[in-house]
Structure 1
Amino acid sequence: MRIVLDKLWVGCKNYTDLVGFGEGGWGRVLIAGAGVTSAIAVLGFLIGSILGSLVAWAKMSPIRLARGVADAYTTTLRGVPDLLVIYLLYFGGNSLLSTFAGFFGANGFVGMPTFATGVLAIGIISAAYQAEVLRGAFNTVAKGSIEAAHAVGMGRWLLFRRVVAPQVLHYALPGLGNTWQLALKETALISVVGLVELLRQAQMASGSTRRPFEFFITAGLLYLTITVVSSLLFRFAEYRSACRMGG
């Protein structure tokens, strides 16, 4: 039994030395990779929220063309693989930038920044899912409250700010929490265009040390930590929203 405990102690010490913050440890670069992952997910989710709101509005528009374009957007983005969207955006963006730069006399290849590509890709993909969540939440809003607001003479902007938006956000928060989780997991795909995020950093560390198990376990724990913290934040937001709605 003592031998087993000694081996476990040595194994734990070797692991903490490997992924720790001391000399020769990879802790700092892994934390930096987690920071890049979080930044891509947050910025991409915010872009998706803005774009998704516009798409949701278009899907409920009385204009047939707007509804058709919005339906085509959500159907396409939810139907094709996310990796394909990232490839198309990266290589297509590089081609457009190189062509555009050529008009001003630039020669050679001009590439898109990988971080911007990742944020934009996550935002475009997330918008398709958030649009459906927001559209469903709007359809759940009590029509009586809107009619009552019209009856007391509320303007369109005041009606949206005080009546519609709080209810839509209240009903949409659980679904938005799910789309956030999707955005967080999709960040792992951005490494294909050369961005060093958490998973890519774990791959590089495992290649350098030939100890992939330890690094991928650590990456999984960091992903789980981000997920747990963000889930708690969404639950708190849902609780505050329920309090404001009187639920």
Structure 2
Amino acid sequence: MLHGYGSTILEGAWLTLSLALTSMTLAIALGLVGAAFRLSPLRWLALLGEGYSTIIRGIPDLVLILLIFYGGQDVVNRVAPLLGYHHYIDINPFIAGVCTMGFIFGAYLSETFRGAFMAIDKGQAEAGAAYGMSGMQVFWRVLVPQMIRFAIPGFTNNWLVLTKATALISVVGLQDMMFKAKNAADATREPFTFFLAVAALYLLLTTVSLLALRLLEKRYCVGARLAEL
């Protein structure tokens, strides 16, 4: 049915999954930093976090991908000679994809995490401080564990969107399943067959992710439900 291209597309699917997981890891880190900045009592930090979130969320993902990939490569090759390196630097599409998707979705997650932190009773942080914890200890030991329960629904939505958005990285040459399906479609002149196969793989990936994250949400809500009884 896939004219021998099935294994090739599955290899691309594994690369797509690797890209999504690595990008989300970076996005989580940037999202936490962005949320911490936006909730900071220091005005300049709050403005920096707000600017990051507003600007990135206001520009289409494809535009940002092209801007960061080609613009970033141009900047690197302009700076390299100043540091004594005179060879052309070709940025790896996977690394570029991870940095781009992580940077974009870090802005979305900063909003998700900010809302989750704001949903926590302020008395929790005050109690941690009363026990002698530092600000960082209160953040990581008291606030973050409770924040996760409130953030999971928004996180789930961002993960699903990020997973589907990985298809855009094929425009910069990453040989993910979209890239390989396009090559197979051009070779066989059967685009519907291969793009339908890719759609089915994306649907499978997002469905499994949704089920797993729903189970995670139920687990984190157990303690809260017991406390309400």
TM-score by length of 2: 0.92
Q: Which residue of 1 aligns with 2:7?
A: 28
SS in 1 for 2:182: helix
Q: Which has the larger radius of gyration?
A: 1
Is 2:41 aligned against 1:62? yes
User: For 1:207 and 1:93, how far apart are their aligned partners in 2?
Assistant: 30
Quote the offset at 1:152 in angstroms.
4.5
How far apart are the structure 2 equivalents of 1:153 and 1:67?
26
Task: Check if 1:122 corresponds to 2:98.
Answer: no
In structure 2, relative to structure 1, the CA distance for the partners of 1:162 and 1:110 (3 Å cut) is: closer
For 1:135, the equivalent position in structure 2 comes to 114
SS in 2 for 1:195: coil
Equivalent-residue separation in structure 2 for 1:150 and 1:88 (angstroms):
44
CA-based RMSD of the aligned residues comes to 1.7
Greater mean alpha carbon deviation, residues 226-235 or residues 148-157: 148-157
CA distance in 2, matches of 1:105, 1:214: 46
- Alignment correspondent of 2:172: 193
Give a deviation string over 1:162-204, Cα, whole Å, max 9, x none. 4311210110011001111111111111111111111111111
The number of equivalent residue pairs is 225
Work out the CA distance in 1 between the residues paired with 2:45 and 2:128: 27
Q: Which runs of 5+ in 2 are unaligned?
A: none
Distance 1:145 1:101 in 2: 49
Supply the distance in 1 between the matched residues of 2:58 and 2:136 (Cα, whole angstroms).
35
Structure 1 partner of 2:55: 76
Question: Which whole-Å CA distance do the structure 1 matches of 2:5 and 2:111 have between them?
Answer: 41
In structure 1, list runs of 5 or more residues that go unmatched.
Answer: 1-14, 19-23
Q: Which residue of 1 aligns with 2:145?
A: 166
Per-residue CA distance 1:97-119 (angstroms, 9 max, x = gap) = 21233232524x32211100000
Identity %: 36
**Are 1:205 and 2:184 counterparts?**
yes
Q: 1:244/1:158 Cα in 2 relative to 1: closer, same or farther (>3 Å)? A: farther
The Cα of 1:154 is off from its aligned counterpart by 4.5
Cα separation, 2, equivalents of 1:57 and 1:105: 37
Superposition deviation, residue 145 in structure 1: 3.0
Which deviates the most, 93-102 or 226-235? 93-102
